[in-house]
Structure 1
Amino acid sequence: MIRNILVVASLLCFGSPVLAGGDAAKGAELSKTCAACHGADGNSTIPSNPVLAGQYESYIAKALSDYKSGGRQNATMAGFAAALSEQDIRDLAAYFSSQESSLTIPNR
């Protein structure tokens, strides 16, 4: 009985599609919509728009999910995120996290 409970608990924790990785190639296709504000590779040149390139995959996925659910407030992003499936979110997160960031830390 305990063994069955452990198996089910493991499947619930580790078999969740939320934890499944995204496809960066599919994310690259989806990211064309993002390019106007965040740059073609996620390196925004607009100071008010964040650089997505090189960001943690889990952070990007969480942010997009929060925009979609209303947990994070931004009218523009909420509109775009509303149309994304959970797989789209994982794919975009995989793509942007795989890009090299243009951000640098200045020498002091």
Structure 2
Amino acid sequence: MLAISTTAHAAGNAKNGRQKALQCQTCHGLDGLSKLPEAPHIAGQPEPYLIKSMTDFKNGTRQNDMMTFVAKELSDQDIADLAAYYASIELSVTVPKR
């Protein structure tokens, strides 16, 4: 079954999100590549996924000691900006040589 969210979100601003990401860099890195084994890489993740994840941490639907604490302080615009920034990071993949 496919669930589609019809919740409207503010348009994110990646430039503003980069500034707000300074508080995220300890765990997720400013480049969105995790610095800690328990924190996921978030660079290049789809913007709607990032918005949903942060919103779920903010409202308590999703639990993690650090993220629940941090997300409670984020406005909807902060979440949109952070999602826009991390989603805008382009990743490249190199296939290993055989």
Report the TM-score range of the alignment, normalised by the length of the smaller protein: 0.7 to 0.9
The alignment covers a number of residue pairs equal to 92
Instruction: Supply the distance in 1 between the matched residues of 2:90 and 2:37 (Cα, whole angstroms).
Output: 18
Q: CA deviation at 1:40?
A: 1.4
Structure 1 residue runs without a partner (length 5+): 1-12
Structure 1 stretches of at least 4 aligned residues deviating more than 3 Å after TM superposition: 104-108
TM-score under structure 2 length normalisation: 0.83
Deviations 1:17-53 (A, max 9, x none): 42x3200011001000000000111111322210110
Structure 2 residue runs without a partner (length 5+): 1-5
Q: Does 1:69 align with 2:83?
A: no
Instruction: Supply the distance in 1 between the matched residues of 2:47 and 2:86 (Cα, whole angstroms).
Output: 7
Identity across aligned pairs (percent)? 45
Between structures 1 and 2, the one with greater helix share: 1
1:100 aligned counterpart, secondary structure: coil
Q: CA deviation at 1:95?
A: 0.2
State the superposition RMSD in angstroms.
2.0
